[in-house]
Every structure is written in C-alpha cells, then in structure tokens.
C-alpha cells in the first residue's frame, strides 16, 4: 500500500512539474483509457436499463477501479439503491468521496445527504455543509431525501460520462472529458492538498478487496450468529462478511430474520445472494407468521426456487399454505400449469393433501399434456374433490335447488352459487367434504346440529335454511351474502381504526350473544368466518358447524385444515369450550384488526396463551388508548371462569375505551 502511494505521488508530482515528453505520452495513454472507460460506462448504462443490475455493477466497478469519477459516482448510486449488490450506504459514501475528490459535484451533493442524515454512521453536519458549499449549493437548501439530491442527481440510475445525471450536468466539471477532471475546483484552490488527496485515492483504488483468511471469516460468522449481539451491529458485520467472500448460507434463517428485521433493513434481505432454498422457505414462513404475506411470497415466488421446493414433500405443503394465507393460490396454480412434470406433480399432490382439490384440478387441466401420474391425480381431484366432482347444474338438488357456479373452496367443502325457484331467491350451496359424511354417526350428528342452527334466525348471522342429502352427497343451503370476508380485507388494509373495529365487532358480538342464548357456541370465530356485506354490516358464518367439521376432517386426515389456531381459547386446545371461549376469539380478532397481526405466533400456542406472551397493543400502535390493553388482558385470561363471560359485556367495555 505504501509503495503504491509513493509511486502515485511521485508520478503525480512529475506530471505536475510539466515534463513535455511524459505529458504527451500520458495524454495518449489517457485518451485510450478514457475511450475504454467510456465504452464500459455505456455498456453499464444499457445493462442497467435492461434490468441486468449485476452486469451493470460489474462494469461500473471495473471503470471505477480505473479512477473514473463518473464511474465512481455511478457505483455510489448502485450501492445506495441496492441494485446489483445489497444496499450499503457505507460503501456508497466511499465511492461518492472518491468521485468528489475529483471534483464531481453530483457526488458531493449525494455524499452531503449521507453525512447529514447519518446513513453511513455518525452524522457530520459540518462536513455535509462544506460539501454543499464546494458543490455551489446555498447553505439553506436541503437535499430532498437520502441518496437523492434536490436536483435529482440520482434519478434514472447510473449514467454514462457522455450523459451525466439529471440536474448535475451544469455543476459537474470533468464528466465529459479527462482534461476537465484535471482542472477540478479543489485542485485549483488548494493545488498541493488536491494532489495529495488524488494520490491517496489512487492508492485506495489500486487496492483490490481480497477475501479474508478463513479464520477471520469464522470469527465474523460467529459474531453474526451470536443472539446476544444486537441486530444493528450484527447487520454491519454481515455486510462486511459477504463483501469479503463469506457465505450467506452459513447463517441460520431465524438469525437472518432477527438481524435484518431488528435493524430495520428487512427490504435488504431480498437482495442477499447465496441464500439456499430451505433458507428462503424458512424466512418466508417467518414473514408469514408475522402477517407479512407479501414479503413471504417475494422470497419464494421464483421458478428456480419453486423447483427446489418441489424436491421435498413437506416443502410443497408449506409452500401451498403460504400462497393460501396470502390469498394468492391462483398464482401458484398458474405457475405450476406451465412447469415441467417433475415440479408440477409434487405441488398437485400437495394441493390434494391440504384439501384444495378444485385448485389441483384447474392446474392439471391447464397443462398442455399430462403424464400418467398427473392423469391419476386429475382423476382423484375430480372424482374425490371434495368428493366426486361438481353436481349436474341442470338437475335440482333435492328437487328444490338449482346449482350455479363455484364461488369459493375451503377446508370443509366447496361453496356454489344457487337459486331456489319456489321462493325466487338466490342462495349459497355448500357441498361438504367426504370425511364428514363417511362416518354415519358423525354424519347424523352434523345434520342434527345443522338443522338446529337453521332455527337460529338473526340479521347478523348467515342462516342455514336446509341440509339435504342428494346422490350420496351432503349439502348445506345457506344465505347468499354479496360481500367479502374480513380475512380478505385485513391483508389489504393492514390496520383498521379503532372506531371501525368497534362497528364491526358490534355486529359480531350481537350475533354471538344471540347464539349463546340459544345454547349454541361458535367455537371457531376468526376473520375468515366474518363477512362484510355491501351495506357494511358484518355477518357471522358457520355457527357450531365449523368446529364439528374441522374436528371430523382432522381426525380422518391427520391434518389441520382450518389453518392457524391463533384465535382459539386455551381450553379449546384441550377439547373444552365455553361461552367465554368465543369471547377469547373475538378479542384475538380485535388484536389483529388493530395491529395487522395475530397476537400469538406459535408453534406452542397453548403455552404462549397460558403465559399471555403477546405484545401489548399500545406498544405496537401509537395513539391507542391504554384501555385497550386492559380490555385484552381481561379477555385473554387463560382461566375461562375469570375471563369476560359474554360477547356484549366485551363490546360494552370496548365502547367505553
């Protein structure tokens, strides 16, 4: 390093002395070098515009190593935006400084933003002000935001030397020609200081980043994996670990999640190269458990990743659940319809396993050709979904009900649009799963409970009009509600205002209170069982039947087809249910509506609920009254006898908050 600096300083001094022969030779070499650098920058610009950020980064890095100020500025842009490399404001600041030392005013402006905001470490307002002064910017003007000057010097990504960044053309000296760079403001004002700085920068540029010895990388890896190390320092060590040749696959997925989320850099996680397929799946599950389904799918929504997930049965099941939670199962169906059999077949089996038989059938029907194995899967999907295919639309079910198009599919059956000619009304027809009707004792109990529910008429309950058996199938005839499930609304809205939560839960609490007076427990209250109709009223579905159907299917398939148990009261995990169990579920819904997240994340739900391990609402959402925490503390009481006993009592306390 010292030798390189000495040579650079000596060469710079010799050229500064004005030796004619050497200057002429240097001009020739400089002209060839400038042409080569200009070509690299043009190719980098084309690659950037085409979306090939890695190629753009490699070309820009090569041009930067040659000392070109515009290339160094462009490299700073790539680092600050995270294009082609994980976002790193520290590296961006280094390259902006190198370009600024050559008089690049756009680099000065962007570096002033980084220093004034403290994006690369401690804030240095004096240095930022000096940079703005040198760039010709008035002291009172403030940059528009991190990494972007008020004149937009980074808009549009990296630029070629012939096409400087927008707003910086007039202020850059040296972006168009090497001669211009030699006459920078710093060199004119402080000749010897500028020459020494140029020599130092030349030595830094000549230094190539070499991989660290294995022992040092191991030390860095242990630091990253140490749970006692705070997230922000661990994040910085992880960035240096990658830059020096470290392997991201060596860091456990759970620790990666904790470091990036804890440091507030979760968006950078999606740009980390070298993550394995199991790591991506584990991270996706972690994001999904936190209610961040869009980020979860972003980690696995790639053909190569899905092909890797198809190699293991458990991975395909988990992937299907992730798409289902995000309400984007059709995206998976569309991708698998175009995938080769070795990828699509495992996912078809997974769709059958979790009860998504119609989705499986749609996927296989959309394929151009089927292997013998896929043909058998299609036959199973059509023949057993949830059981025997769709009934004949032209035939009246039970001699009374016309069957229309399928509108939804769940773990307990398929819902069709229907019509009852005798009463001239639209209805919903739910065809129940095979497991429910397979056991005669369970079948009769289910029918008796459905008929009892048909007598519970309330304006905020989706009524069951009839239960019929036709052709060996079991159907429920229900109200047809034009609206949306609360479970579909929450992912789009995120958090709901407290006043809106009160309005929705007023309908829910009145409906559940009415059912309790009829000695009917819901036992499976959750956003998926609450419909919001066009008038804005909330209606509760599947009273009593939901848990019965779920328990039956779970016993016969050894699977949990109703999803997360996050809304269940602790005693329900032990097979018991009381009126206060429904109150517990309503409180869990309120928590999710206010925070956008479920209160408990598992996997040991019962233990967490017994110990009340959840984050108070006032610590998650600002401007929420403390009375909400007190209300949930009473509703989340693990003892059903001391818990708030009735839904309307819960609502009255909520109204008073």
Average pLDDT over residues 261-270: 85
Question: Please, what is the Cα angle at 117 between 112 and 118, to 5 degrees?
Answer: 100
| Whether residue 387 has pLDDT greater than 90 | no
Question: CA-CA distance, 201 to 101, in Å (whole number)?
Answer: 8
Of 363, 343, 341, 342, whose CA–CA distance to 351 is shortest? 363
Cis peptide before 603 (omega within 30 of 0): yes
What is the average pLDDT across 104-127?
83
Round to whole Å and give the CA distance between 466 and 447: 9
Q: In terms of C-beta distances under 8 Å and separation of at least 24 residues, what long-range contacts does 90-99 make, across chains too?
A: 90/120, 90/121, 90/236, 90/239, 91/243, 92/120, 92/147, 93/119, 93/120, 95/64, 96/72, 98/64, 98/69, 98/72, 98/201, 98/204, 98/205, 99/69, 99/70, 99/72, 99/73
- Residue 264 banded pLDDT, cuts 50, 70, 90: confident
With cut-offs at 50, 70 and 90, classify the pLDDT of residue 170: very low
CB 494 within 8 A of CB 596: yes
Contact 628, 594 (CB under 8 A): yes
Convert the pLDDT of each residue in 220-256 to its tens digit: 888 899 888 898 889 988 988 888 888 888 999 889 9
Handedness of CA 59, 64, 69, 73 (dihedral sign): positive
Angle at the Cα of 18 from the Cα atoms of 16 and 23, rounded to 5 degrees:
95
Tens-place pLDDT, residues 467-478: 888 877 888 888
Listed in order, strand segments (DSSP E) in 3-105 are none
In 422-536, where does DSSP find H-type helix? 434-438, 440-453, 486-493, 498-517
d(CA 99, CA 91) in angstroms, rounded, equals 13
Can you say whether residue 167 is alpha, beta or left, with left for phi > 0 and alpha for psi between -120 and 50 degrees? left
Annotated catalytic residues are 524
485-656, CATH topology level: Transferase(Phosphotransferase); domain 1 (1.10.510)
Supply the mean pLDDT for the chain: 76
| Statement: residue 493 has pLDDT above 80 | yes
pLDDT of residue 158: 43
Count H helices, E strands: the chain?
31, 9
pLDDT in tens, 189-205: 445 555 555 555 555 54
pLDDT for res 206 = 46
Q: Who's near 222: CB < 8 A, 6+ residues apart?
A: none
Choice between 438 and 611, residue whose per-residue pLDDT is larger: 611
Please report the pLDDT score of residue 115 as a whole number.
84
- Give domain 396-479's CATH number out of 3.40.50.300, 3.30.200.20, 3.40.190.10, 3.90.1150.10: 3.30.200.20
Residue listed under structure tokens 């904790």: 258
For the chain, what are the domain ranges? 2-206, 214-384, 396-479, 485-656
3-class DSSP state for residue 254? helix
- The total number of residues written for the chain in this structure: 657
pTM recorded for the entire structure: 0.46
Q: Which of 212-226, 404-418, 485-499 has the lowest mean pLDDT?
A: 404-418
Q: Which two tokens stand for residue 70?
A: 């515009």
Least confident of 135-144, 356-365, 439-448, 647-656: 135-144
């Amino acid at each position: 390093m010292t030798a390189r600096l000495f040579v650079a300083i000596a060469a710079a001094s010799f050229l500064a002395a004005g030796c004619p022969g050497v200057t002429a030779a240097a001009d020739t070499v400089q002209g060839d070098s400038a042409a080569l650098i200009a070509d690299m920058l043009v190719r980098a610009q084309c690659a950037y515009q085409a979306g090939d950020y890695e190629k753009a980064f490699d070309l820009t890095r090569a041009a930067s190593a040659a000392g070109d100020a515009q290339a160094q500025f462009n490299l700073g842009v790539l680092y600050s935006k995270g294009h082609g490399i994980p976002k790193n404001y520290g590296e961006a600041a280094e390259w902006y400084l190198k370009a600024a030392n050559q008089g690049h005013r756009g680099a000065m402006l962007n570096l002033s933003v980084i220093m004034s905001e403290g994006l690369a470490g401690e804030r240095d307002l004096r240095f930022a002000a000096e940079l703005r002064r040198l760039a010709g910017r008035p002291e009172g003007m403030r940059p528009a935001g991190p990494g972007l000057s008020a004149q937009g010097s980074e808009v549009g990504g990296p630029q070629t030397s012939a096409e400087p960044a927008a707003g910086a053309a007039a202020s850059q000296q040296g972006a168009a020609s090497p001669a211009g760079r030699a006459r920078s403001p710093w060199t004119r004002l402080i000749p010897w200081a500028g020459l020494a700085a140029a020599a130092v920068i030349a030595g830094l540029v000549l230094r190539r980043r070499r991989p660290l010895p294995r022992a040092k990388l191991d030390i860095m890896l242990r630091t990253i994996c140490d749970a006692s190390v705070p997230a922000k320092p661990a994040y910085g060590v992880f960035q240096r670990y990658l830059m020096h040749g470290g392997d991201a696959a060596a860091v456990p997925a759970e620790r990666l999640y904790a470091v990036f989320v804890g440091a507030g850099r979760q968006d950078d996680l999606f740009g980390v190269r070298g993550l394995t397929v199991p790591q991506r799946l584990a991270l996706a599950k972690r994001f999904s458990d936190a209610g961040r389904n869009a980020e979860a799918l972003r980690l696995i929504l790639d053909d190569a990743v899905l092909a890797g997930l198809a190699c293991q049965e458990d991975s395909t099941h988990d992937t299907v659940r992730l798409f289902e939670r995000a309400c984007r199962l059709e995206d998976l169906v569309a991708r698998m319809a175009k995938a080769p059999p070795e990828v699509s077949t495992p996912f078809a089996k997974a769709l059958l396993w979790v009860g998504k038989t119609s989705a499986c059938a749609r996927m296989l029907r959309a394929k151009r050709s089927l292997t013998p194995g896929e043909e058998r899967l299609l036959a199973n999907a059509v023949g057993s979904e949830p059981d025997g295919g769709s009934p004949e639309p032209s035939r009246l079910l039970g001699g009374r009900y016309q069957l229309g198009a399928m509108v939804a599919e769940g773990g307990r059956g398929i819902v069709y649009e229907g019509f009852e000619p005798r009463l001239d009304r639209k209805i919903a027809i739910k065809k129940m799963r095979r497991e429910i009707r397979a056991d005669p004792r369970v079948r009769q109990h289910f029918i008796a409970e459905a008929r009892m529910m048909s007598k519970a008429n309330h304006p905020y309950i989706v009524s069951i009009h009839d239960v019929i058996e036709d052709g060996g199938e079991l159907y429920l005839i229900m109200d047809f509600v034009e609206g949306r499930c609360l479970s579909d609304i929450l992912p789009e809205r995120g958090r709901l205002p407290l006043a809106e939560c009160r309005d929705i839960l007023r309908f829910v609490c009145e409906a559940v209170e009415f059912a309790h007076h009829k000695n009917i427990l819901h036992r499976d209250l959750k956003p998926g069982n609450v419909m919001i109709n066009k008038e804005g009223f909330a209606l509760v579905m599947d009273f009593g039947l939901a848990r019965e159907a779920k328990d039956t299917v779970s016993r016969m398939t050894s699977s949990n087809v109703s999803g997360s148990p996050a809304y269940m009261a602790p005693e329900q995990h032990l097979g018991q249910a009381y009126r206060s169990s429904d109150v517990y579920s309503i409180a869990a819904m309120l928590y999710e509506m206010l925070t956008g997240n479920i209160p408990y994340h598992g996997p040991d739900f019962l233990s967490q609920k017994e110990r009340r391990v959840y984050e108070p609402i006032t610590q998650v959402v600002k401007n929420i009254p403390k009375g909400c925490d007190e209300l949930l503390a009473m509703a989340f009481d693990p003892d059903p006898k001391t818990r708030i006993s009735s839904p309307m009592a819960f609502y009255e306390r909520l109204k008073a908050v």
